[in-house]
Amino acid sequence: MRAALLLPVLMAAAAGLAHAENNKVGEVSTAFKLIGPDHKVVVDAYDDPKVTGVTCYVSRARTGGLSGAVGLAEDKAEASIACRQVGPIAIAQPLPQQEEVYSERQSILFKRLRVVRMVDAKRNTLVYLSYSDKLIDGSPTNAVTAVPVDRGTPIPLR
């Protein structure tokens, strides 16, 4: 019975790890763990799904040890973000003023890292905010970055 309950949890954790591996740029170990992986700081890259030519790089702590290996550990709420123009910017459809572009689970229950895109129309700039939240109490820890868009390419708004 326990195995039947644990299987979906392990499958979800494995799927999350597989997704993160596809975007991984690199990692550094910050603390040795005798059993399980070391504590780490990881850097992942995420392309904005609606803005071609913009990639966001997010660094954050990843808890190691046995609980981290099986997806039961809760990662810290701190994250850093840097979004850059990596190619010609193209926006195929009008963007909302504010929209979540990325979300990832940071614990087995309720805690998520989120990246939100905001449009500063006056300055023709895309602003990206990263923060962590929980079902009951989120974290005020956040990071912000901005990608200016050439004035010749006005950002279409919905």
Give the pLDDT band of residue 113 (cuts 50, 70, 90). Answer: confident
What's the burial of 119, exposed, middle or buried (CB within 10 Å: 0-12/13-18/19+)?
buried
| pLDDT class of 112 with cuts at 50, 70, 90 | confident
| Closest-CA residue to 75 (of 146, 5, 27, 6) | 27
pTM, 2 dp: 0.73
State what percent of residues in the chain have pLDDT above 70.
62
Q: Closest Cα partner for 48 from 97, 85, 79? A: 85
- In the sheet that holds 142-148, the strands lie side by side as 98-105, 112-120, 125-133, 142-148
Structure confidence by residue, pLDDT tens digits, 3-60: 444 334 334 444 444 344 568 989 887 766 567 666 688 899 999 999 999 999 999 8
